[in-house]
Amino acid sequence: MLDLTKSRVLITGGAGFIGSALAWSLNQLGCDRIVITDFLETTEKWRNLTPLRFEDYLEADTLFDALPKLGDFQLILHMGACSSTTEHDAAYLIHNNYEFTKRLAAHALTTNTKFLYASSAATYGDGAAGMSDTDPALHRLRPLNMYGYSKHLFDLYAARHGLLDQITGLKFFNVYGPNENHKGEMRSLVNKAYTQILDTGEITLFKSHNPAYEDGKQQRDFLYIKDAVAMTLHLATTPKATGLFNIGSGTPHTWLDLANALFAALGKPPKIRFIDMPEALRPKYQYYTKADLTKLQATGYTTKITPLPTAIADYVQNYLATNHHLGDPIPSQP
């Protein structure tokens, strides 16, 4: 079993949302032998790094040249990717999300390094082919956007070349929580709606354009970031936990559930207004997602998922309201 307290870890996308949360969780466990790579660009992403302890940082486009000099790693957590579901530059997504992952996986296998990578629930598309993380169903999946397809391509590649019995892919569902401020329009609704409530006193939600769902009753599997990293590190330290795994709560909630929990965390009465969904988004919209966690639980994961209202209250009161990042001291509760 991999001992994280004695391991040296490479985290790609380590300044990003999930990557920096993984570094935070490793720090909590006593691991600071971490090398982080990312593209900081002109965003405020660097702020996620300031409370964290790690050995070194380098820009992602220098990683492969630097790898021979970086020394041995026991674990690679490959979270780096373009995560925009509205990105239209297919060549960029193929290079950044597919080719990069192929090269890094090959390096990990050559050096006998445990390799976990971020796939996505976006690979499931509209869910018509189910949302099972069992490998044989892969060929039936039809992602709805190029981002999802770029992730699906590597899942298919790994399956075709027999890699899924050696590496671990993580199909993240709707993850939300601290350290996502830099993501712009790709931030969670909790993050965006928090600002909207402070500015206008209300939340706007998309109307449903599917007769099977009432306005606000579209359902998603929302997962708090602290649960997502706990699941990820459990798989990293569990022998033979290879293949694809859903990383979600296993319980779908409506957008109204999310909005009402946010108003409750702020101590305000709900005020929700529905607006039309943009035409371009309608064919690509997921109305229902639910992670089947049977495979994850079969590895021995028994930690209770943080309930949606509890998670949102923690996010709002300890991070959004205080402008804190993971790793910053949290004020004592009264």
Positions marked active-site: 147, 183
CA dihedral 57, 60, 66, 68 (to 10 degrees): 110
Decide: 214 and 285 in contact? Cβ < 8 Å.
Answer: no
Rounded distance between C-alpha atoms, residue 189 and residue 123, angstroms: 21
Rounded distance between C-alpha atoms, residue 95 and residue 88, angstroms: 13
Rounded distance between C-alpha atoms, residue 226 and residue 230, angstroms: 6
Return the closest-CA partner of residue 100 out of 151, 52, 149, 49.
151
Decide: 295 and 134 in contact? Cβ < 8 Å.
Answer: yes
Place of tokens 């499931």: 124
Rounded distance between C-alpha atoms, residue 31 and residue 4, angstroms: 6
Tokens of 19: 């990557």
Residues in the chain: 334
Tokens of 273: 């207004």
